[in-house]
Structure 1
């Protein structure tokens, strides 16, 4: 079909207006706009090591809370902006390797893992063995990956402080008996933070090196509820940041 000359002259302007209508800073869809399940952890401030975890779901409308809130702990030094699905934030601390802070922001959820051969969850599950390590060595080409020492070689995991079978390598530690990968720093930028999980806490109220920890029943309920087809996301924010960003990021009300 031939376009009339006057309309053709207007088309560049119309295309520019359409581009502006979906430019950043408008009500454009967020990278997690297709999420139908959301795990929300809130803390009282950047330096708080304790928080509350809530679960939400939606079906084309507003977020609806599911179940009861549960206490969790985060990094021993609180939280800091991580690298995930959200836009970069300059106002506040930034996550770094070894800083004792949990990454804040919006993140995809990865594989569930644990000591058993299987777990009661619809999420993809990886049974951890004695040779499985998460690499937290900044200079390693395997940084922020869970690897099998039998495949990559013993030298590749020699400096890692994250054996995934802590019961075998860390005096019977049960914290990784059940867990879930939080996809912080998916590009594996050196020094930006690695091996971020949701996992069991060692004792009630004890903070972590940067993960989110909780009681066994809370973890079991979370894993049973999550559905990969619902594209679940994990959100961790201080309360003040949640209030500031809730509308722009289409998050549940504080």
Structure 2
């Protein structure tokens, strides 16, 4: 089976915190991290990492959305799901059960940004302490406000991304 072409994420001209994402059926708008794009990302810098970011799976809020249509592994987010963002913890940059003894982001957010998200293989194998955690493709704030380092789409554009991706898909983030 042929490996899918990467989904190219390129900084929008004159807009360092916004991207243009090339999909099979056109170019879509996305928000980037408040720290812009960086080749050497660090925890808390707000930057979106440059490079190839394979797609591992989809998480979604079953209490808010119908099951998304995608070829990737799919899992509903539960009330006790968190993502460890403490570089000193052995579960750094992994899904954990809340309440967690160390710092962990709540996956079941009130603001709707994580109603559906793609888990990106960033700082995964090997995990490097302090290199950054919880890098996802998720839903955008109104007006495409910058993220904390993720890539964020409108609901419509996220549906287009989910329809296109399959096993072996990756975002290729380039400056």
Shared fold (TM-score, shorter chain, > 0.5)? yes
2:107 maps to which residue?
164
Once residues 141 and 31 of structure 2 are traced to their aligned partners in structure 1, the CA distance between those partners, rounded to angstroms, is 10
Once residues 189 and 80 of structure 1 are traced to their aligned partners in structure 2, the CA distance between those partners, rounded to angstroms, is 16
Once residues 12 and 156 of structure 2 are traced to their aligned partners in structure 1, the CA distance between those partners, rounded to angstroms, is 24
**1:104-119, aligned counterparts within 5 Å?**
104-116=50-62, 118-119=67-68
- Which of residues 187, 196, 199 in structure 1 aligns to 2:138? 199
**1:46-61, aligned counterparts within 5 Å?**
48-55=16-23
2:172 maps to which residue?
235
Find the residue that maps to 1:48 and give its secondary structure.
strand
Once residues 100 and 155 of structure 2 are traced to their aligned partners in structure 1, the CA distance between those partners, rounded to angstroms, is 34
> Is residue 12–residue 20 contact of structure 2 (8 Å, CA) maintained in 1?
no
1:98 maps to which residue?
44
Flag structure 1 segments of 5+ consecutive residues without an equivalent.
1-33, 56-65, 82-93, 167-171, 239-254
Once residues 49 and 75 of structure 2 are traced to their aligned partners in structure 1, the CA distance between those partners, rounded to angstroms, is 23
**1:189-228, aligned counterparts within 5 Å?**
189-228=128-167
Q: How many residues align?
A: 169
Superposition deviation, residue 189 in structure 1 = 0.8
Q: Deviation per CA, 1:11-67, whole angstroms, max 9, x where unpaired?
A: xxxxxxxxxxxxxxxxxxxxxxx632311110158x811110112xxxxxxxxxx10
Flag structure 2 segments of 5+ consecutive residues without an equivalent.
none
Q: Deviation per CA, 1:63-117, whole angstroms, max 9, x where unpaired?
A: xxx1010111110120111xxxxxxxxxxxx100000100110121111111017
Question: Which structure: greater helix fraction?
Answer: 1
Once residues 96 and 130 of structure 1 are traced to their aligned partners in structure 2, the CA distance between those partners, rounded to angstroms, is 28
1:36 maps to which residue?
4
Question: Which structure: greater strand fraction?
Answer: 2
- TM-score scaled to structure 2, two decimals? 0.90
